[in-house]
């Protein structure tokens, strides 16, 4: 689809990861307003992380390890429920801002193998896009042919969908000015050529536990998406709007 853009709202941006099940309400409202103001009819898909919602149960039950004990399935359903609760909040906020958003639940439609999505019937997402709706998938649990189940990050969701839908670009919105090195400086550009050299200095976005692998895995997945990815700071008002309107160089650009 021509001019299609993916936007990821990071879990650490839309929730307070230091406080379980706590959203950043004002940030979410502003971000949704910026989406509405900047979209102008262009095709858009929005994904989001789980932040302080599913990561709590996922850490408790070690859900990222798959089926490991008699409590594992309890963890699976709790993580799925937590992720869905946050998704409904985001969907409601987008609709409230005037955006025609529709939820797509990965745990109900994907199959993975060893943490990677291998099957996903994407025709409903494609149809939603063609009708001018904004599909909103999100980081979730997934049945896994090797592990029983796994956690799939929004980056993994985007990796799979990007190969199918071929977006023009991907904007990842977090709470830092881009990808930071160990001294807190912005790394302006990451490519496959320099990834190994910068990998060891990549910092976590906020220092809190992330069962989806943290910044290193996020960048690695971004390099697999087959299109330009830019990581920007969603705490800065208007930055997402400017990015959606076509401005580049606002954060860290990742080129495959």
H or E stretch covering 142? strand 140-144
Q: Are 50 and 138 in contact (CB under 8 A)?
A: yes
In this structure, what DSSP letter does residue 24 have? -
Q: Sketch out the chain's domains with CATH numbers.
A: 5-255 (3.40.1160.10)
Q: 46-74: per-residue pLDDT in tens?
A: 999 999 999 989 999 999 999 999 999 99
pLDDT of residue 180: 86
Side by side, the strands of the sheet bearing 110-113 are 116-120, 110-113, 140-144, 148-152
**pTM of the entire structure?**
0.93
- In this prediction, residue 87 has a pLDDT band, given cuts at 50, 70 and 90, of very high
Q: Are 141 and 134 in contact (CB under 8 A)?
A: no
Q: 36-53: per-residue pLDDT in tens?
A: 999 988 999 999 999 999
Q: 158-217: per-residue pLDDT in tens?
A: 999 999 999 999 999 999 999 888 788 899 999 999 998 888 777 554 544 455 557 888
Q: Give the integer Cα–Cα distance in Å for 42 and 150.
A: 33
Nearest to 1 by CA among 117, 102, 121, 132: 132
- In this prediction, residue 236 has a pLDDT band, given cuts at 50, 70 and 90, of very high
Q: Give the integer Cα–Cα distance in Å for 15 and 9.
A: 10
Q: What are phi and psi of 180, to 5 degrees?
A: -105, 145
Helix axes 25-39, 72-96, angle to 10 degrees: 60
Which neighbouring-strand residues pair with 101? 134
pLDDT reading at 223 higher than 50? yes
Mean pLDDT of 18-22: 95
Q: Give the integer Cα–Cα distance in Å for 23 and 32.
A: 14
Q: Give the integer Cα–Cα distance in Å for 122 and 7.
A: 18
């Amino acid at each position: 689809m021509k001019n299609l853009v993916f936007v990821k709202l990071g879990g650490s941006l839309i929730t307070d990861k230091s406080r379980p099940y706590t959203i950043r309400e004002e940030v979410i409202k502003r971000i949704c307003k910026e989406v509405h103001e900047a979209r102008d009819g262009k095709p858009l898909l929005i994904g989001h992380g789980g932040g302080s919602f599913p990561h709590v149960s996922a850490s408790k039950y070690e859900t990222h390890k798959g089926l490991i004990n008699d409590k594992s399935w309890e963890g699976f359903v709790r993580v799925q429920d937590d992720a869905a609760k946050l998704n409904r909040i985001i969907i409601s906020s987008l609709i409230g801002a005037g955006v025609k958003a529709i939820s797509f639940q990965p745990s109900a439609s994907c199959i993975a193998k060893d943490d990677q999505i291998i099957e996903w019937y994407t025709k409903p997402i494609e149809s939603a896009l063609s009708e001018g709706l904004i599909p909103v998938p999100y980081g979730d649990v997934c049945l896994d042919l090797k592990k029983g189940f796994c956690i799939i990050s929004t980056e993994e969701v985007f990796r799979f969908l990007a190969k199918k839908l071929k977006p023009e670009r991907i904007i990842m919105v977090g709470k830092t000015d881009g990808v930071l090195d160990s001294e807190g400086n912005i790394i302006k550009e990451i490519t496959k050529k320099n990834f190994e050299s910068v990998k060891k200095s990549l910092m976590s976005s906020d220092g809190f536990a992330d069962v989806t692998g943290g910044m290193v895995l996020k960048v690695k997945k971004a390099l697999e998406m087959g299109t330009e990815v830019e990581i920007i700071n969603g705490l800065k008002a208007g930055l997402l709007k400017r990015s959606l309107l076509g401005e580049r160089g606002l954060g860290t650009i990742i080129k495959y």
